[in-house]
Structure 1
Amino acid sequence: MEIIISLLGFILTIGVAFLLSNDRKNINYKAIIVLIVMQVIVTLLMFKTTFGQKTVEVVSDGVTKTLNYGYEGIDFVVGGLVPEGASIFFVNVLMVIIFTSTLLSILTYIRVLPILIKYIGGAVAKITGLSKVVTFNSINSIFFGQSESILAIKSHLDKMNDNKLFIVSTSAMASVSASIMGSYMTMIPSKYVLVSMLLNALSSLIVATMMAPIKKEDDEVINIKEVSQSNSIFGAMSVGALDGGKVALIVAAQLVAFVGLIALINGIFTGIFGISFTEILGYLFAPIAFLMGVPASEIVTAGSIMGTKLATNEFVAMLQFQPLIPELSAKTVAIVSAFLVSFANFSSIGIISGSIQAINGEKANVVAKFGLKMLLAATLASILTGTIVGLFS
């Protein structure tokens, strides 16, 4: 029965994207079908085959071991300040972003990631018939998240029509950055982080290209040099470390603000209405959780986490979700974890618009106008990813 409900939820999500399309006659149905098949193959491979499970295990272990080297640097800086056995979120979770951001910057400078992204994006464009810029941006977003992925295609912004701009912006919002992947893995099961990062790239293309269809352009050329801003490997290391430090501080500041505000709002709602704000979110998102495949007994809890993520950010939601994981069913953990692995929240509208503003003010105004629709599309992408993970978990 849960499988039937999940399939219905998947179909309804696609249906919503279809109904919101601004050009239904030109939807590339071949691309949509190919992308859905790719999602099924990736999920089946990762969760239902020995090879896939071993791959996820090896990658997860590799990430964990790599992060342990990063903790050596953290311990050198703050060693002795944290009592033994204690866990301080900024130190144990956020400071590791500095290390992973540095690694990412190095891999970008030596052209490992840009070449990988270019050819994977090109392959997706070839088999789906979608624009190379769109597929490149989607794959690029797996590694670089919102701002950086937009910067990598800055030379194409001038020629983009509104639909293509909508797709690349939605892909950026539906993604996460590989630089904070390790932080997520300290809060939710690592296998869902890895799989969701891949699925989100496909989900965002499915939803966004239905809502804003485009035609393929044969003369598009991707310049991988635009991805890296550094002139030397030492410069790449410095840029990566500084960028990681900025992200860690920004996330810390957001958590102080959002967690405090949620507590304040919960207190006000409880005092006035006798029910907290997060509980209300739980009831609002409960039907969505149910259609994604969450067992009926857990839909309010799952809905509360999902609503919190949309209203604040994924870190706040993960912090609320983490202590609940042992009490929830494996399916609920899978679905909610997958849903949380994206930047789809209200603050991301400003981040993406601001990133484009730094490059092209005219296009930034366009993005600002469809900001809420973009958020809806990115949220639908997260729902698709969570649903398909739930189907095969």
Structure 2
Amino acid sequence: MGIILGVLAIIVVLGLAFLMSNDKKNVNYKGIGIMLLLQLLTTWFMFSTNIGQAIINGIAAGFNKLIEFGTEGVNFVVGGLMVEEGGSVFFFNVLLLIIFFATILSVLTYLRILPPIIKYFGGLISKITGLPRVESFNAVNSIFFGQSEALIAIRSQFHHLTANRLYIVSASAMGSVSASIVGAYLQMLPPEYVLVALPLNMFSALMLASIIAPVKVPKEEDKVDVKNVTNDKSIFEAMGNGALEGGKIALIVAAMLIAFIASLELVNWIISFSGLTLQELLGYVLYPIGILMGISPDEVLRAGSVMGTKIVTNEFVAMLEFQPMIAEMSEKTVGIVSVFLTSFANFSSIGIIAGTVKGIDSEKAVSVSGFGLKLLIGATLASILSATVVGLFL
């Protein structure tokens, strides 16, 4: 029964994307079918084979070792602060680690290690699926870098981007997460689900965006250039700039958490007369899709409230809310919700993407603002698709 519901959920998600499509005649069905098959094979391989499990465990162990190194740096700076026994300070224990991960990414970019790898995998995806190279490169790039950085990396091609192409690259940026904050996620959610969400969300974002905004691109307008991806003149400048960028991200996330959590409490106080919280209301709204995704009826309201919280606030707020529930819920529900949460699909991302595009090309920023809500719906559907695929194997 679970598999039947999961298949139905996939059909519903793809059907909704098709209804939203602005060019139904030119949808690349072959490419979409290939990406859906790649999703299923990837999930099966990582969850159902010894080699896949070994890869997940190895990557998780690598991230944990990096977290240890980052913790040493954090402790040197703030280790003297007193914390009650058994307590923790989220900003120190989780967010400040973003600085170290951002530094590593900056150095790997300066050394020209990451850009060719991203270009190669993007080209491979383009060749297999028939999608344009720029869009494929951006999708892979969005796994490693944040929404703004991913879009800036293709700024030289912005003059070639039509409204549909701009939608696809924006959807990829919103549907993925940055590697610089994956370390923070791994401390709040089971590592195997966070790691499998990275490739699944990449494919989901590409699939749904390609249905909603199909494109056909002439070869002369589809080139990827990774020669000028960094302006750093030395490895030490790369480290410094990476650390500053990571520090900025940590502070932004902290500021948003303060604002969103406080606002959530305010809204709950205002609607307290109803006897329900905003999270509970969102749980009822997402109840039907939660059932289709494979969440059991006795857990779907709580799970739906977490997923809804992520959409209206951000993934960190939802993860903090979900953490205490993990031990009480079934493995399948934990997996589905964890994968759903591992993306930037929320209202605040619309502003981040629109602001980034405005900095690159002010005229195209008008297009982003125009399809902002459509972008959020598409990215949310992508999260649902990835979570549903994972649910099929749990």
| 226 and 345 in structure 1: CA distance in 2 versus 1, 3 angstrom threshold | farther
Give the structure 2 partner of residue 269 of structure 1.
271
Equivalence for 2:287: 286
- Secondary structure class of the residue paired with 1:14: helix
Q: For 1:197-236, list aligned pairs within 5 A.
A: 197-219=198-220, 220-236=222-238
Q: Report the CA distance between 1:218 and its aligned residue.
A: 1.9
Report the secondary structure of 2:145's partner residue: helix
Matches within 5 A, 1:239-250: 239-250=241-252
1:45-91 C-alpha deviation (Å, 9 max, x unpaired):
11010000010001101110111011110010001203354310000
Identity fraction in percent: 54
Equivalent in the alignment of 2:107? 106
Residue in 2 aligned with 1:69?
Answer: 69
Give the equivalent residue in structure 2 for 1:44.
Answer: 44
Q: Deviations over 1:334-371 (max 9, x none)?
A: 00000000000001000000001111000011100000
1:247-299 Cα shifts (integer Å, max 9, x gaps): 000000111111111111112211x2121111101100111111111011111
* Residues 321 and 349 (structure 1), Cα distance of their counterparts in 2 relative to 1, 3 Å cut: same
Provide the residue aligned with 1:170 in structure 2.
171
Paired positions, count: 392
**1:333 match: secondary structure:** helix
What is aligned with 1:32? 32
Q: Distance in 2 between matches of 1:250 and 1:99?
A: 16
Give the counterpart letter for 1:339 in structure 2: F
Asked if 2 retains the 8 angstrom alpha-carbon contact of 1:31 and 1:128, the reply is yes
**Code of the aligned partner of 1:241:** A
Q: Distance in 1 between matches of 2:51 and 2:254?
A: 38
* 8 A Cα contact 1:46 1:53, kept in partner: yes
| Secondary structure of 2:271's aligned partner | helix
Contiguous gaps of at least 5 residues in structure 2 = none
Answer yes or no: is 1:359 the counterpart of 2:357.
Answer: no
Counterpart AA for 1:164: R
Give SS of 1:296's match: coil
TM-score of the superposed pair, with normalisation by structure 1? 0.98
Q: Distance in 1 between matches of 2:232 and 2:82?
A: 35
Give 1:348's aligned residue.
349
Q: Secondary structure at the match of 1:22?
A: coil
State the shift of 1:216 in Å. Answer: 3.7
Q: Counterpart amino acid of 2:324?
A: P
1:47 counterpart letter in structure 2: F
1:295-350 deviations in Å (ceiling 9; x for gaps): 11111111100100000000000000000000001000000000000000001000
Deviations 1:74-122 (A, max 9, x none): 0100012033543100000000000000001111111111111000000
**179 and 82 in structure 1: CA distance in 2 versus 1, 3 angstrom threshold:** farther
Matches within 5 A, 1:308-387: 308-387=309-388
Deviates more, 1:219-228 or 1:180-189: 219-228
Which deviates more from structure 2 when the two are superposed, residues 245-254 or residues 225-234?
A: 225-234
Question: Can you give the 5+ residue segments of structure 1 that lack an aligned partner in the other structure?
Answer: none
Q: Which whole-Å CA distance do the structure 2 matches of 1:130 and 1:280 have between them?
A: 39
Cα distance between partner residues in 2 of 1:137 and 1:146:
10
**Does the CA-based 8 Å contact 1:82-1:88 persist in structure 2?**
no
Superposed displacement of residue 229, structure 1:
3.3
**Which whole-Å CA distance do the structure 1 matches of 2:218 and 2:124 have between them?**
15
How big is each residue's C-alpha offset from its partner over 1:182-202, in whole Å with a ceiling of 9 and x where there is no partner?
Answer: 000000001111110111110
Contact map agreement 1:349 1:371 (CA 8 A) in 2: yes
Contact 1:118 1:222 in 2 (8 A): yes
Q: Which amino acid aligns with 1:301?
A: R
